[in-house]
Amino acid sequence: MLTGKQKSYLRGLANTQRALFQIGKDGLSHNLYRTVEDSLEAHELVKVSVLKTCEEDFKELAFDLAMNTHSEVVQTIGRTVVLYRKSKEQKIILP
Report whether pLDDT(1) > 90.
no
Buried residues in 48-87 as b, exposed as e (16+ CB within 10 A): bbbeeebeeeeeebbeebbeebebbbbbbeebebbbbbee
User: pLDDT by residue (tens digit) across 30-84?
Assistant: 999 999 999 999 999 999 999 999 999 999 999 999 999 999 999 999 999 999 9
Alpha-carbon gap, residue 83 to 88, rounded angstroms: 16
The confidence score (pLDDT) of residue 30 equals: 94
Please give the pLDDT value at position 54: 92
pLDDT of residue 48: 97
Query: pTM (2 decimals)?
Result: 0.93
**pLDDT score recorded for residue 21:** 95
